[in-house]
Amino acid sequence: MRNFMYFLLYLSLSFSNDKTYTLTEFDIQTINSFRETGFSSFADFTVINNLMNSDFYSTESENHFGMYYMCYYNDDLSCANKHLNRAIQIDGKQSYYDLSDSLSLYRDFLENARRAVEKENFNIGIEDYENIIERFPGTGMPYYELGILYDKIDNRIEAITNFKKAISLNPNKEIYRTAIYSIAQSISREADDDSRRQDYNSAIPKYLEAISYYPEFTQAYFQLAKAFYSLGDYNQAKDYLLKCLELDPNQIQPLMMIATIYKKLKDNESSERYYRKAVQVDPSSYKAHFRLGTLLMRKDLKLAKLSLEETVRLNDKYYNGHETLGIVNMQLGNINEAIKNFMNTIDVLGERSKKRYKSLYLLADIYNTKKDYAKAKEYAQSAVDIRENGGAANYHLGVAYKNLGENYLAKNAFERASKDKDWRASAKYELELMKK
């Protein structure tokens, strides 16, 4: 599309009667070598545009002749034919007629090759395209179409070779680059299927093959990183993510993943940097804010609180956000805010969710601290109903019962709590106190 827009711009300028442009030495050198080099860059296109607005060619027919070459080497045969016919109408030079015959022969050969492919006479099609390449060197189209043919018969190596040749002759033709990407994408999809089956030994070589064909294939780098991450090879995963982000630094998923990897590698500074980049790239990502907030809990509780508040603002149904914000508020001494956060967690999860367990026992902890032992007992018992032998829930239930004077029930709760290694020491301490 971009080339087409440039072409329209060129047409709007090429027939101007105001030929005032003075060609530079570079322009002239480019024009003189144009027949050998073809349409190789936008710079060439600009030079031809300059040509058409200068007095380099003395006649209108020669202007159309220049246009013919530009179109021909840009693999736009209809455009080339149109301008060559116009040149012939204006000035019937024999050289123009000779070119017209050659162009017609070229187009006939292409049609023959295409018909062979349509009829699945692939060997004949290959021969036809190779004949075209030999007779009409310097254009990318035959290489491109031969690459399509080879892709049809699953010869990826030859397909890629021909696509690359087409690109070298006409690097501005987006369809040629897309062809390579399509093959790489196809290989990558096969690898994705392997990854979903956790067959990483098959997936990884395919991703690498896709990248070898299309080195700018960011998604393949990302998928490679995911595969190595799943295998526990965080350093290898990190390297592919860095390559992915080098090609496109504004991808939210790779940013999130590399931040997570750095966290696993105990490099919290790098992890924070990438989480902050993720938030910058996508301010609406509640998960990016959440993970940044959880990381900052070890560094700055006030900053962590800001990130977590943004998390629940963006997604008030995200229970982890409410719960973690509650924990931060507890640590900051914002008890009433913490209660509200835990209640929000429970509301979001619903009465039947077992995921309420942590918020319930934390509420019990808060109300024990506030010496509202009746409420503490209520929330602790709800937590025990979810996890009968949960150490945290039973410990806080024991504290509530003890302060309510129900020592027998307190003793039973502490004994259950003592079976949890994380709460064993605290529970046994309370049991010893009760013996005195």
- Tell me the per-residue pLDDT of 312-331, one tens digit each, with 9 for 90 and over: 999 999 999 999 999 999 99
- For the chain, the average pLDDT equals 84
CA distance 94 to 108: 21
Q: Mean pLDDT over residues 238-248, rounded?
A: 96
Residue type, 17: N
pLDDT at 133: 87
CB 360 within 8 A of CB 386: yes
pLDDT at 416: 96
For residue range 45-97, list pLDDT tens digits in order.
Answer: 555 555 545 444 445 677 677 777 777 777 778 877 887 788 788 887 787 78
Q: What are the boundaries of each domain within the chain?
A: 2-174, 249-349, 356-436
Nearest CA among 285, 299, 291, 289 for reference residue 331:
299
pLDDT at 366: 97
Pick the CATH number of 249-349 from 1.20.1260.10, 3.55.40.10, 1.25.40.10, 1.10.10.10: 1.25.40.10
Number of Cβ within 10 Å of residue 328's Cβ equals: 25
Pick the CATH number of 356-436 from 3.40.50.2300, 1.10.3720.10, 2.40.50.140, 1.25.40.10: 1.25.40.10
Q: Which residue has the higher pLDDT, 180 or 35?
A: 180
Residue 154 — very low, low, confident or very high, per pLDDT cuts 50/70/90? confident
Distance set, CA 244 to CA 17, 230, 260 (Å): 50, 18, 16
pLDDT at 145: 87
CA distance 392 to 276: 34
Q: Given this chain, do its domains 2-174 and 249-349 carry the same CATH topology?
A: yes
CATH of domain 2-174: 1.25.40.10
CA distance 326 to 62: 79
Can you tell me which residue has the tokens 């105990």? 266
Q: Look up the pTM and report it.
A: 0.69
For residue range 255-296, list pLDDT tens digits in order.
Answer: 999 999 999 999 999 999 999 999 999 999 999 999 999 999
- End-to-end CA separation in angstroms for the chain: 87
Nearest CA among 258, 262, 252 for reference residue 287:
252
pLDDT at 317: 96
Q: Which residue has the higher pLDDT, 406 or 108?
A: 406
> Is the confidence at residue 398, as pLDDT, over 90?
yes
